[in-house]
Amino acid sequence: MFVLGIDPGLSRCGYGVVSRRRSALVAVAGGVISTSPEVPLPERLRVLAVELRSLVAQYRPSAVVVERVFFQVNARTAMATGQAAGIALVAAAEAGCEVAQLTSNEVKQALVGYGGASKDQVQRMVASVLGLPGPPRPPDVADALALATCYLTMQPLRRAVAAATTSTSATDGAGERATLPPGAQGFGVDVS
């Protein structure tokens, strides 16, 4: 199973492919797709779309995880990041991949145990979990690998929550059938 993580950006879009092999997670590939600010926006978006579609076709990931922009001080940067994220989401959907979006705080919380962790802490944890000799560089690649790693480490919990949410055989102790209502957040975890 391959998972493709995308750290969206218009000038620099990081990607990382992680695979689960038995009980270990392994970094398969990582890199950055770059576009020049001197090139017109439609052409930059086209190049990004072509490159992302190529990655999806090459690795055929089971899932694509795109960082969700939660907060951005600079509106121009936020727009560019949103456009790049949209291109990544379309490339994944066109290929029929499962698509997930995670904020950087969700990734930090899952990997480091603290939503305010530094980039350096995340990079060191990614290196540790993936058995890399050092933190992945550049940071765009590290962030993309972190997204894919986070998704794969959360996958068993996602399955358990999905099973609990859709199960109709659970009882409430009094012998009556009980089910979670549609959209319930089993175990207090948002799996959407």
| Catalytic status, residue 143 | no
Q: Which of 51, 67, 106, 143 is catalytic?
A: 67
Look at the chain and count its residues. 192
Q: Which of 7, 51, 106, 143 is catalytic?
A: 7
| Catalytic status, residue 172 | no
| Catalytic status, residue 190 | no
> Who's near 20: CB < 8 A, 6+ residues apart?
1, 26, 152
Cα torsion 11, 114, 63, 190: sign: negative
* DSSP characters over 48-98: HHHHHHHHHHHH--SEEEEE-----S-HHHHHHHHHHHHHHHHHHHHTT-E
Report the C-alpha gap between 29 and 123 in whole angstroms: 16
Q: Which of 51, 106, 140, 143 is catalytic?
A: 140
**Residues with catalytic annotation?**
7, 67, 140
